[in-house]
Amino acid sequence: MRSMAAFDYSALSVDAIRSGIAAKEFTAREVALAAIERIGAADAKVNAFLQTTPDMALAAADALDSAVSSGTFDEMGPLAGVPVAFKDNMNLLGTRTTCGSRMLENYDSAYTATCVQRIVDAGGLPMGKLNMDEFAFGSSTETSAFGTTKNPWDLERVPGGSSGGSAAAVASGMVHVTLGSDTGGSIRQPASFCGVIGIKPTYGLVSRYGVVAFGSSLDQVGPFARNVRDAALALNALVGHDPLDCTSQPCETDFTANLDEGVAGMRIGVVPEFMTAPGLEPEVGEAVLAAIQKLAAQGAEIVEVELPNAAAAMSAYYVIGPCEAFSNLSRFDSVRYGYRDPGHADLGSQYEASRAFGFGQEAQRRILLGSYLLSAGVYDTYYYPAQQVRTLITDDYRMAFGECDCILAPTSPRTAFKFGEITDPNTMHLSDIFTISINIAGNGGMSVPLGLSADSGLPASAQLICPWFKDENMLRVAAAIEREYGPAPIAPAFADGKVGA
Amino acid sequence: MTQHVTERDVRRMAEYARIGLADDDLPQMTEDLNNIIESLKPITEYDLEGVEPTFHPIGDLSNVMRDDVETPSFTQKEALANAPAAQDGSFLIPSILGGGDA
């Protein structure tokens, strides 16, 4: 048996892990043990995990190794033996599901979310649950009640959010595939900050059953990975109708099928308003322009498309999101589950004290905003018009996709910022300026790494946006970008088996 | 900047949302909410005459219905597993009529 310390599983691709186990070069148990050891050391620096599940990982690994012994490994799924982990708003029986909140600090998952089950059924080794902004309200993972997650590229910087743990765990090479959720950019922006791939699929492609809801008309679950094929394999496992989420749609697409086709003849849209947006840092804009030129050189047709109402997406989102959150978070009533403040003689004061202690500041802000926006009189000023603006934004995308197969844009206006650097809520909300309109319209979007930024040396990225249920288009473009820039590297301090400086 | 909500409004919103906001937190929360509401202004400036609302993305997809067949669900024990307090198979709560003397 090889030395565990020498077995660097982290640099292997998903396919290489599966074929290595099949060829008996190593066992699934060896992968699981190496991952447990690596997470134990590296996560002391990163703090991506809120809990680890070594027993689950070993049990899953042993089942795979038994399949190798009995000659049935071919029947195992495409993620067989791959270390995976889940954002902590996803239920997994046998774990807590905290949503990064004191409200759910002691909440035991009552069942397993469909998305989690599908990754486990595909052969993933569940390594644990990942840190997040409280109830997914945030863009830096700083609102978690359980400490901040560090960006593996620079431990003094945020990993982005709200799925910051999911991005950091992949960027530091602790696990290969993680799941996040994205309501306004919460997969794509942390993927951008951590230099990994993060996919928000088209609304309806992935079941949300068992994922704690934030904004139900906006929320979508998707994977993080370090190369496009790994991400496509994870997406294959995730998609499809689930009787337990009535928004989920049937899907027969193999997202790996067109990765080698190249972009020659594809029409790739560029949005001039995005490229000249105030707040877009020059090094980010330059990186995106360079990627556009490389795709043109590969034979893509670059076309300008207009999204005239995209500028209103931010304000529409901060109407729709808080209203839906206000409704969804009313379930935390201190009676059926969640934090109960002790010693109250009447139910009313128990509600108020429990929710005041259980919810952090940003969660309270959004709930109160929703409370205001849904109140009589105000509803007609903001809520109804926001839904009309949503129609305009959706129509914009529909028109734009009449002229192109995929849009290329910035993911975030800037690279990763430092802890505490942004404290004003409105400024923090601007982190999602390029991602939010996609949730409003329901299209798919993903962040792909573009190497390192010229000035800051931090990961640069681009966002790809696809027509409804044409997520294979953006994966095809992502594969073409990957041929130029290479797959996402593990952050240097964690590369080659290292576990942080 | 326009004052959209006063501290008294925020207190009322908090009561409606069942959040016992501390008096010390009220001024900052009021300021934050006013700033955020101010940022929503673009929504109020659009000419939306005749524009249909979209309450749900991808509106031309229809709901997926299943047959009305009974399937196993939570047991009483599972449903109560995360309850902060339970008694005789029910969720236990304090008095709902207030004052503790009901």
Q: At what angle do helices A471-485 and A228-238 cross, to 10 degrees?
A: 160
Report the percent of chain A where pLDDT is more than 90: 94
Beta strands in A312-394 (DSSP E): none
Q: What is the mean pLDDT of residues A214-225?
A: 97
**Which pLDDT does position A300 carry in this prediction?**
98
Q: How many CA atoms lie within 13 A of A114 on its CB side?
A: 18
- Cβ A110–B52 below 8 Å, yes or no? no
State the pLDDT at residue A6.
Answer: 59
Task: Say if the Cβ atoms of A315 and B56 lie within 8 Å.
Answer: no
What pLDDT shows up at residue B59? 61
Q: Which of B24, B32, B43, B69 to mutate to test the interface with A (most CBs of A within 10 A)?
A: B43
Helix (H, G, I), strand (E, B) or coil at A363: helix
Q: Which residues, 6 or more positions from A207, have their beta carbon under 8 angstroms from its beta carbon?
A: A113, A114, A115, A221, A240, A241, A242, A244, A245, A248
Query: For chain A, what are the domain ranges?
Result: 85-313+387-494
- Residue A213: name the closest of A105, A116, A332 by CA: A332
Convert A99-110 to b/e letters by CB count within 10 Å (16 or more is b): bbbbbbbebebe
Task: Tell me, yes or no, if B14 comes closer than 8 A to chain A by beta carbon.
Answer: yes
- The closest CB to that of A334, out of B15, B84, B97, belongs to B84
B100 touches chain A (CB under 8 A): yes
pLDDT at A106 over 90: yes
- Could you tell me which chain A residue has the CA closest to the CA of B35? A426
Give the bridge partners for A84, in sequence order: A126, A177
Which tens digit of pLDDT belongs to each residue from B25-54? 999 999 999 999 999 998 999 999 999 999
Task: Identify whether A327 is a catalytic site residue.
Answer: no
Residue A87 among the catalytic residues: yes
Q: Does the structure show a pLDDT above 60 at B98?
A: no
**Over residues A148-172, mean pLDDT:** 98
For testing contact with chain A, the best of B93, B96, B97, B101 (most A CBs within 10 A): B93
Cα B14 to Cα B20: distance, rounded to the nearest angstrom: 7
- The owner of tokens 């990064």 is A100
**ipTM for the whole complex:** 0.92
- Output B88-93 pairs: Cβ under 8 A, ≥24 positions apart: B91/A335, B91/A336, B93/A335, B93/A347, B93/A350
pLDDT digit string (tens) for A400-427? 999 999 999 999 999 999 999 988 887 8
pLDDT at A2 over 70: no
| Chain B nearest C-alpha distance from A285 (Å) | 25
Q: Which of B17, B48, B57 sits opposite A203 (nearest CB)?
A: B57
- Supply the pLDDT for residue B67: 86
For A156-186, what is the HEC assignment?
A: CECCCCCCHHHHHHHHCCCCCEEEEEECCCC
Structure-token match 């495409």, residue found? A78
Q: How far is it, in rounded angstroms, from Cα A123 to Cα A76? A: 6
Q: What percent of chain A has pLDDT over 70?
A: 99
Which pLDDT belongs to residue B1?
A: 66
- Whether B10 and B29 have beta carbons less than 8 Å apart is answered as yes
What is the reported pLDDT for A20? 98
pLDDT at res. B99: 52
At B54, list the tokens.
Answer: 């979209």
Map out the domains of chain B as residue ranges.
Answer: 7-44
Closest chain A residue by Cα to residue B16: A371
- Which residue of chain B has the CA closest to A427? B36
Average of pLDDT values for A315-343?
96
Paired with B86 in beta bridges are B91
Dump pLDDT digits (tens) for A350-389: 999 999 999 999 999 999 999 999 998 899 999 999 999 9
DSSP per residue, A289-327:
HHHHHHHHHTTPEEEE---TTGGGHHHHHHHHHHHHHHH
Residue among A139, A162, A172, A437 flagged as catalytic: A162
Q: How confident is the model at residue A431, as a pLDDT?
A: 81
- Chain A contacts of B98, Cβ < 8 Å? 346, 348
**Amino acid identity, residue A289?**
L
Per-residue pLDDT, A423 = 85
Rounded Cα distance between A45 and A299, Å, is 43
Query: What is the structure's pLDDT at A429?
Result: 79
The answer to whether B93 contacts chain A (CB < 8 Å) is: yes
**Nearest partner of A470 among A184, A274, A266, A306, judged by Cα:** A266
According to the model, what pLDDT value does residue B64 have?
66
**Whether the predicted pLDDT of A9 surpasses 70:** yes
Name every chain A residue with its beta carbon within 8 A of the beta carbon of B57.
203-204, 217-218, 390, 394, 439-442
Digit-coded pLDDT (tens) for A447-500? 999 999 989 999 999 999 999 999 999 999 999 999 999 999 999 999 999 999
- Give the model's confidence band at B66: pLDDT under 50 very low, under 70 low, under 90 confident, else very high: confident
Residue B101 has pLDDT above 50, yes or no: no
Give the closest residue to A134 by CA, choosing from A123, A118, A124, A146: A146
Overall average pLDDT of the A428-440 stretch: 90
pLDDT of residue A4: 47
CA–CA separation, A142 and A87 (whole Å) = 15
Tens digit of pLDDT for each residue in A240-273?
999 899 899 999 999 999 999 999 999 999 999 9
Q: What share of chain A is helix, strand, coil (3-state, %, to 5)?
A: 45, 15, 40
CB within 8 Å: B53 and A364: no
Cα separation values, A376 from A383, B6, B26, B47, Å: 11, 16, 22, 22
Residues 59-88 of B with CB under 8 A from A: 61, 63-66, 74, 78-79, 81-85
A203: which chain B residues are within 8 Å (Cβ-Cβ)? 57-58
Residue A1 pLDDT > 50: no
Nearest CA among B81, B29, B33 for reference residue A356 = B29
| pLDDT of residue B65 exceeding 90 | no
> Could A368 and B14 be called an inter-chain contact, meaning their C-beta atoms sit closer than 8 Å?
yes
Separation in Å, CA of B82 to nearest CA in chain A: 5
Largest separation between any pair of C-alpha atoms in chain A = 71
- Chain A residue numbers with beta carbons less than 8 Å from the beta carbon of B60 are none
Once rounded to an integer, what is the mean pLDDT over residues A435-440?
96
Residue B2 pLDDT > 90: no
What pLDDT shows up at residue A315? 93
Look at residue B100 and tell me whether its pLDDT is greater than 50: no
CATH number corresponding to A85-313+387-494: 3.90.1300.10
Per-residue pLDDT averaged across A76-105, rounded?
98
- Compare all CA atoms of chain B with the CA of A437 and give the residue at the minimum distance: B57
CB contacts of B55 in chain A (<8 Å) are 217, 387
For residue A19, what pLDDT is reported?
A: 98
Q: Which of A425, A439, A468 sits opposite B36 (nearest CB)?
A: A425
A243 vs A430, higher pLDDT: A243
